[in-house]
């Protein structure tokens, strides 16, 4: 099955700086890679996703890059703000047809943005 590793586990940045979170995956058949943001005590919310036929995707201050050859993908947050403080999870789907929709999650990155 799929195995997803995420680094770093914690990340402290000054407001206005950039934050980068990196993930690797093992299943070469994976083709969908979402990123979720979870605030304390709340449900994870999808913030951006990328498919394997795309190398980069951007949405305002958030961007995701994917390197299929190396099996890694990254989340980039620019001009960080205090409201970006949260836990961020990367995930990858299992590529087999009989496990459609199964996501394997990374362990999460606690991002703290200090004013």
Distance CA 68, CA 87 (A): 25
x-marked contacts with another protein along 75-94 as a string, rule CB under 8 A: --------------x-x-x-
Residue in 21, 80, 85, 106 binding another protein, rule: CB under 8 A: 106
| From 11, 20, 22, 32, residue interacting with another protein (rule: CB under 8 A) | 32
Contact flag: residue 108 with another protein (CB under 8 A): yes
Q: How far apart are CA 50 and CA 17, in angstroms?
A: 24
Q: Does 103 bind another protein (CB under 8 A)?
A: yes
Among 14, 53, 83, 101, indicate the residue that binds another protein (CB under 8 A). 101
DSSP conformation letters of 15-53: TTS-EEEEEEE--TT--EEEEEEE-TTS--EEEEEEETT
């Amino acid at each position: 099955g799929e195995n997803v590793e995420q680094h770093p586990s914690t990340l402290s940045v000054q407001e206005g700086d950039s934050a980068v979170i990196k993930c690797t995956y093992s299943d070469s058949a994976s083709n969908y890679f979402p990123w979720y943001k979870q605030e304390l005590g709340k449900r994870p919310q999808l913030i951006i996703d990328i498919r394997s036929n795309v190398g980069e995707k951007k949405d305002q201050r958030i961007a995701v890059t994917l390197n299929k050859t190396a099996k890694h993908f990254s989340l980039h947050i620019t001009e960080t703000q205090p409201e970006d403080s949260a836990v961020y999870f990367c995930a990858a789907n299992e590529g087999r047809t009989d496990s459609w929709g199964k996501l394997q999650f990374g362990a999460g990155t606690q991002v703290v943005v200090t004013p």
